[in-house]
Structure 1
Amino acid sequence: MSGEDRENAAIWLRAPSRTGWLWAGIWLVYLLVPLGDNFNGKYAAWQQIVGIVGFWVFCYVYSRLTMQSRAGWDCNYERRTADRRLLLYLAGLAALALVLPILCTPAWIALWIYVSSACGSVLPLDGERHWAPLGALTATGVMVIEGVSLRVGPGTWGWMVLPGFFSCVAVMGVRRMRGLIGELHQAREDVKHLATNEERLRLARDLHDLAGHSMATITLKAELARRLLPADHAAAEKQIADIEHVSRQALADIREAVSGYRRATLAVETASARAALEAAQISFEVDSALLRGSGSLSPDAEAALAWCLREAVTNVVRHSGASWCRARLIEARIDGEATVTLEVTDDGRAVPAAGVLADVTQDGVTESGSGATPWGNGLTGLRERLAPFAATLTAQPVRPHGFRVCATLPVP
């Protein structure tokens, strides 16, 4: 996921909701009860004015706190450290909840319920101490102490104790839910980008295997046609016709690879390998079991082995300088498990270094000495193709000279 995509996702997650003011303000309707009591005739005019001003200030600060804290729930709902601005808002709410019952009507102790709810919105949920529930307990305790000190009857503040604490618990639950929804959206974006990257990797792998093999064959046939042209026009024309056929087939294969429909088979790749090796004047020995195995394996497993055959033959044609190449399909049981192994061997220039063979598998390079065989793009692509099958890919020189590529798959 690119930096720009992450930034756009973060902006989307932090975007304020259009219903934010409704969420923040709908619960303030319960303050109409202490507000109505504030206009009781037994209170002085200045107390009523202080009550009205305090009411509107409390509503504004509480709404701002709720909206701004909700904007960050999606990205960091646990919040190890609280925002200082939100803490100032919370301190202001606590100060108003403490002062208004003393200066005006004691019914204003209901403000502590909203302070407790604000603790669930602002204070961290993660860490050794659970600050949000501790803040709710503190707000509820102060409400009880202040109610008793102001001689408010237990019937008035008693019904506020449970709502005071559980309002914080409810907000914490909503906060966690919003955070998990935000993580789900982020995970969906990541999965989308991973799927795109996987498709790009598949396309790059297929194009490498297809184009490399086909271009090597075309190059060899073109060189052969150039040499035959002065002496044998008929043979040169045959090679040119083969070039046309291989190029058309390569174009069709590339189109199928781009569309995602190509599935190689051992029979097709064996015929293609024979044509490429004959053009390079390399004799090709094919085990009859290889042709019989085509169609007997699962389509995905056979396609993986077919790609291995194509890449191995391409390497023989381009790099080995070999005079012969042999391909075999071996069925065996390893540790009681049925396996099938594709082996491609040639007599090319590769020579073991001081008698050391390097065994390259899925997990990396395992050496019995020094001088490991390096991975190329082709072998890396084969390893990726074989990975879903818990297969083993081995590439190593053989004595006295030559090279062997083996791909072993477990089969049902």
Structure 2
Amino acid sequence: MRKLVWVLPWLVFLASPVSDLAAGHHTLGATVAGWAGLAAFVTIYLTIVFRQMGRTFRGGIVSAAVAVQWVLAVVLAFSLGGSWLGLFVYVSVMCGVTFPLRVAYWTIPATTAAMMLAGWHAHDLDEAWGLFLVVLLVGYSMTGIRQLVATTVELRKARATVAQLAANEERLRLARDLHDLLGHSLSLITLKSELAGRMLPDHPAKAAQQVSDIEQVSRQALVDVREAVTGYRRPRLAAELAGAQVALTAAAVTAEVPADPDLTDVPEDGEAALAWALREAVTNVVRHSGATRCTVELLRRQTLDGPVLELAVEDDGSGGSGKGPGNGLTGLTERLEKAGGTLEAGRLKHGFQLVARVPLAAGVAVGSGA
């Protein structure tokens, strides 16, 4: 459907050839040949353009198709008159879409020149001059669109590569941290276990002391691992903001999300609570609200209770089908309360809004926004 929406409006230039054939200005043989040539022209054009938007033909097939189109346009325009000059628009489009740039840069002017020559032959230079810039510029605009699409594809591949590299780096960091946390402890446990085994027959008291040391080291190692895992599981607000932008865009929701938030002096518990709130809000927007627009704001405010960092997520959707707060909002309220924050969520006149606030560290100056 997207391809049709893009391609069909361009078929407007076929109105003149169709009207010319329908008017009966030509002999029966010329009319039949004109319909056959027009049908072949349109079939080749749509086939090449549709395939060029996906899995393209090989270069030889594309070059042959463009050559056939060029010949058909020249023959039909020279034979049937100036009403057929619009076919050169499609030839120019195909040159810009299919050929390499260095080839397209000279075939597009050549197509324009052929159109002008056909207009001169048909004694219809006014029509030819009216299409001159259209034929010339539409071909070059297609080359620009091709480069834009290629750049977008490369950018998506680069983003995927960066995400993969970040995941790999995170795995390496996790491996290094676990090695640093457990390497020494496990080595000490192994050594003391060996000592306890040697002492058991003759020195049970010393062996018991070694076992006691093993227990202490093991408990400390367990505490270290739990703290490390808690740190890894804690979401980061900057990462959630980036993820929100990607998720909303993928769901065809127009998103306004701050790119580089200032999280200076924001407590870790407060940042984690806001990150969870943002994740829950974006999930609701994508899955339940039916929204087409979503705005995320991150502001520093001064309240009667002190400075706070405020996260506001507003959309133009329905807010879901539930009549009361769901489990997600209840859980968020509990998380924010543990961090000393608050949560407000409710329907607006045209949408839904969620506002989460967490206190900033004491003595932080509050500006206009983050």
Q: Give the superposition deviation at 1:223.
A: 2.4
Confirm whether residue 183 of structure 1 aligns to residue 166 of structure 2. Answer: no
Counterpart contact for 2:193–2:214, Cα < 8 Å: yes
Amino acid corresponding to residue 136 of structure 1 in structure 2: I
Counterparts of 1:92 and 1:241, CA distance in 2: 89
Amino acid corresponding to residue 192 of structure 1 in structure 2: A
Give 3-state SS (helix, strand or coil) of 1:196's partner.
Answer: helix
Shift of the 84–257 alpha-carbon distance from structure 1 to 2, 3 Å rule, reads: farther
The total of aligned residue pairs comes to 233
Counterparts of 2:115 and 2:155, CA distance in 1: 38
Partner deviation per Cα, 1:321-343 (whole Å, 9 max, x = no partner): xxxxxxxxxxxxxxxxxxxxxxx
Name the residue aligned to 1:34. 17
Amino acid corresponding to residue 64 of structure 2 in structure 1: L
Partner deviation per Cα, 1:121-151 (whole Å, 9 max, x = no partner): 01112xxxx2212111010011111221232
Name the residue aligned to 2:50. 67
Q: Give the superposition deviation at 1:231.
A: 4.2
1:5-404 correspondence runs (5 A): 18-71=1-54, 83-125=59-101, 130-152=102-124, 154-261=125-232
Amino acid corresponding to residue 70 of structure 2 in structure 1: A
Q: Give the superposition deviation at 1:165.
A: 0.6
Q: Give the superposition deviation at 1:259.
A: 4.8
Counterpart contact for 2:16–2:84, Cα < 8 Å: no
Counterparts of 1:167 and 1:187, CA distance in 2: 30
Q: Which runs of 4+ in 1 moved over 4 A?
A: 258-262
Counterpart contact for 2:73–2:88, Cα < 8 Å: yes
Amino acid corresponding to residue 45 of structure 2 in structure 1: Y
Give 3-state SS (helix, strand or coil) of 1:220's partner.
Answer: helix
Q: Give the superposition deviation at 1:65.
A: 1.1
Shift of the 88–24 alpha-carbon distance from structure 1 to 2, 3 Å rule, reads: farther
Partner deviation per Cα, 1:239-285 (whole Å, 9 max, x = no partner): 211101212222333344445459xxxxxxxxxxxxxxxxxxxxxxx
Counterpart contact for 1:82–1:123, Cα < 8 Å: no
Q: TM-score, normalised by structure 2?
A: 0.58
Counterparts of 2:86 and 2:112, CA distance in 1: 10
Give 3-state SS (helix, strand or coil) of 1:71's partner.
Answer: coil
Q: Give the superposition deviation at 1:27.
A: 0.5
Name the residue aligned to 2:317. none
Counterpart contact for 2:82–2:127, Cα < 8 Å: no
Counterpart contact for 1:58–1:93, Cα < 8 Å: yes
Give 3-state SS (helix, strand or coil) of 2:85's partner.
Answer: helix
Counterpart contact for 1:100–1:108, Cα < 8 Å: yes
Amino acid corresponding to residue 54 of structure 2 in structure 1: A
Partner deviation per Cα, 1:159-206 (whole Å, 9 max, x = no partner): 111000100122122212211221122122212211221121112222
Give 3-state SS (helix, strand or coil) of 2:97's partner.
Answer: helix
Counterpart contact for 2:108–2:136, Cα < 8 Å: yes
Shift of the 198–192 alpha-carbon distance from structure 1 to 2, 3 Å rule, reads: same
Amino acid corresponding to residue 160 of structure 2 in structure 1: E
Counterparts of 1:196 and 1:83, CA distance in 2: 39
Counterparts of 1:210 and 1:64, CA distance in 2: 62
Give 3-state SS (helix, strand or coil) of 2:123's partner.
Answer: coil
Counterpart contact for 1:93–1:115, Cα < 8 Å: yes
Structure showing greater radius of gyration is 1
Name the residue aligned to 1:275. none
Shift of the 228–177 alpha-carbon distance from structure 1 to 2, 3 Å rule, reads: same
Cα RMSD (Å): 2.3
